[in-house]
Amino acid sequence: MKKDLGKDKIIKLVFSMAVPAMIAQLVNVLYSIVDRMFVGQIPVIGSQALAAVGICGPNVTLLSSFGTLIGIGGAINMSIKMGQEENDDAREILFTSFIMLVCISLVLTVLFLFLRKPMIYWFGGSDVLYPYANSYLTIYTAGTFFALMAIGMNYFITCQGYSGIAMCSVVVGAVTNIILDALFIRGFHMQIEGAAIATVIAQIVSALFVLLFLHSKKPMIRLKKNHFHKEYAKKIVKLGFSPFLILATDSIIIILMNTILQRFGGPEQGDILISAGTIAQSCFLLITGPLLGITSGTQTIISYNFGAKNRQRIEKAFRTIVTISLCFCAVMFMIFMLFSDTFVAMFTSDPVTSPIAIRAIRIFIIGVLPMAIQYALVDGITALSNVKISLALSMTRKSIYTVSLLILPLLFVAETTFYAQPVADILAATITTIVFLKTYPDFMKENGM
């Protein structure tokens, strides 16, 4: 059912948009996690293949971040125009975003296919891991167009109030991926290539679902041929740049972590630490993915009411989003602290890798409660189109993370690299909260609220 972003009760509205978006992001995370589960259980080569998929992970995240750049940037701009009742402009923004995704996906496909070999070695690969990583990355990159369409255009369904439809588009793709993983890897014994092919086919299904809905008569702002507007393109990039940078720098950080683990772990432990780190990162995605769904899925509530200049609804939305985020992260903290060994067993039964992965998971989640506040506030600031502050706060967190990655293994051992995650989460959340409380009142006054 479509929601009225300007009139429905805020608590009901936030829940009705946060829950489907959270589920959609959770299911979306399963694309990579299910691949890793099946790959990790491949006889004989499972551990090496899992490490190879972990090395490809930053490439996959980097490609996805471009869909987020256009999707979030376009959806926020479109929501503001809808709040101002300027629907013709909203339609131009939708079409402009679509053309931008088409062009970016074609450029990225060519670029990543050309650079895939050096990228694998730059990102922590070894001669043992290269054949597996090369096969996976080549096939995945070939489906970049569909991946970006499925991710980027889905935001334009959510921002029109159809959060349930947006969730279904992701669920359809994820279910397809799980079925095909089982068929290709276990049924046809296609190993790591089967995982990549299954993912690409699933993304094709999701992309077709999204595009067909946006082209149908149901949404008020439909995808039809229109004018490509250069000024809107600039605004889309401006508002989408902060969440894009968050995801893109996540890729860089994972690359840096894999490289450090490979270097400080040495020939004996390097690949094992990367494999354990891949499992920990996969489990951590089960927190950050749904959390991002909550905070980004509700951005349009803030954007719409910002366009309508309704400060009371904006502030009530902030309080509700932060509360839901904290509750979700508290539950996930308890689950992973108690059952981390169960999650690790889904990926590997290797007696050397398993205990390291269990420790890594428990280290990663130390700072999830502060992280909930940081996600909610930064995405809320972005929804208010206050890009300078949201970008600065995002980069502060990444900077803390990077410095921690570089210093910890020098002072201690390679495995302490995992502590960079909670250090960044706790410090960044503290800084973000202070900045928000100091700048928000003045920002609202400047915008006539």
Could you give the angle at the alpha carbon of 432 between the alpha carbons of 364 and 425, nearest 5°? 5
Q: How many CB atoms lie within 10 A of CB 412?
A: 12
Q: Tell me what pLDDT residue 241 has.
A: 81
Whole-angstrom Cα distance, residue 212 to residue 226? 17
DSSP string, 195-231: HHHHHHHHHHHHHHHHHHHHHSSSSSS---S----HH
Structure tokens at 19: 């829950």
Whole-angstrom Cα distance, residue 354 to residue 347? 9
Structure tokens at 381: 């600031």
pTM exceeds 0.85, yes or no: no
CA dist list (Å): 335 to 221, 283, 332, 347: 41, 11, 5, 17
Q: What is the pLDDT of residues 263-283, one digit of tens each?
A: 887 777 777 888 888 888 888
89 alpha-carbon distance from chain centroid: 28
Whole-angstrom Cα distance, residue 271 to residue 259? 10
Q: Tell me what pLDDT residue 204 has.
A: 95
Q: How many CB atoms lie within 10 A of CB 183?
A: 13
Residues of the chain with pLDDT under 50: 1
Which residue, 144, 260, 263, 124, is CA-closest to 200?
A: 144
CB 71 within 8 A of CB 320: no
Q: Tell me what pLDDT residue 358 has.
A: 93
